[in-house]
């Protein structure tokens, strides 16, 4: 996994936790 992919995954996870539940 590249750094960019890791950062993207973390960003999407944060987004889901913030605007999801």
Q: Can you tell me the distance from the alpha carbon of 21 to that of 14, in angstroms, rounded to the nearest whole number?
A: 11
What is the number of other CB atoms lying within 10 angstroms of the CB of residue 13? Answer: 11
Mean pLDDT of the chain: 90
| Token representation of residue 4 | 């960019």
pLDDT of residue 21: 65
Model confidence pLDDT, tens digit, residues 1-21: 799 999 999 999 999 988 876
């Amino acid at each position: 996994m590249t750094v960019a992919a890791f950062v993207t995954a973390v960003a999407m996870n944060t987004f889901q936790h913030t605007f999801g539940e």
